[in-house]
Amino acid sequence: MRHRVAGRHLSRTSEHRLAMRRNLVASLIQHETISTTIEKAKEVKPFAERLITLAKKGTLSARRRAIAMLGNRDIVDYQEGKAVKKGTVIGKLFSELGPRYLDRPGGYSRIIRLSLRRLGDNGQLVLLQLVGADEGSKKQAKATAKKAARKKARKTVEVKEVAESKETVQAQEPDKDEKTTEADSDANESDNQQ
């Protein structure tokens, strides 16, 4: 019986499970979206969220605890066939992800089920991704859309005001013309009388 035995074995030894969990979370922090099986994603998600909560604190002791739990893997990018170091996983965690989620009380990641199955063993594939990476761009897009709508509304109001002022000017001009024609006709009459 396995009463009160928490966690999934995932057909691995404890050392293998620990290494796999660290690798998946480091990849999640680096890429912000990873594709894996549903069982692995459910096992990794709480660990990733615990690390992000540590990153929100931002203290030196929190950074040391995160390094002890995760390790400090380098983020390497390949440019023109050469490996270029872009930073570390802990550096990105504390400099980008921690400040991003300061006002969020939890739920930093989500699991999205895919309709795909893994070819070898027909395992259910999912996307494990951090929330907010695309929301920031969506918020910016919404903000720019709102600004554009405001500008458009202002322009239409200005165009209407200009059109109304032109109409009032045109309405006033015939009165001036009538006055000038009346004044001209009066002048002509006085000239005729003399």
Write out the chain in H/E/C secondary structure: CCCCCCCCCCCCCHHHHHHHHHHHHHHHHHHCEEEEEHHHHHHHHHHHHHHHHHHHHCCHHHHHHHHHHHCCCEEEEEECCEEEEEEEHHHHHHHHHHHHCCCCCCCCEEEEEEEEECCCCCCEEEEEEECCHHHHHHHHHHHHHHHHHHHHHHHHHHHHHHHHHHHHHHHHHHHHHHHHHHHHHHHHHHHHHC
Backbone angles phi, psi at 128, to 5 degrees: -105, 115
Q: Are strands 33-37 and 74-79 parallel, antiparallel or unpaired?
A: unpaired
pLDDT, residue 36, reads 96
pLDDT, residue 163, reads 74
Give the end of a domain, one of 112, 131, 150.
Answer: 131
CA distances from 55 to 2, 43, 93, 95, 148 (A): 34, 20, 6, 8, 36
pLDDT, residue 66, reads 97
45, 119: one domain: yes
Backbone angles phi, psi at 55, to 5 degrees: -65, -30
36, 80: one domain: yes
pLDDT, residue 68, reads 97
32, 124: one domain: yes
pLDDT, residue 11, reads 94
Give the end of a domain, one of 131, 159, 174.
Answer: 131
CA distance 124 to 118: 7
Among 128, 135, 131, 133, CA closest to 25:
128
pLDDT, residue 156, reads 76
Domain-located, residue 98: yes
pLDDT, residue 134, reads 65
Residues in the chain: 194
pLDDT, residue 180, reads 56
190, 114: one domain: no
Residues of the chain with pLDDT under 50: none
Predicted TM-score (pTM) above 0.85: no
pLDDT, residue 137, reads 54
pLDDT, residue 181, reads 57
Going across the sheet that includes 33-37, the strands are 33-37, 124-130, 109-117
pLDDT, residue 155, reads 73
41, 115: one domain: yes
pLDDT, residue 191, reads 60
147, 184: one domain: yes
53, 141: one domain: no
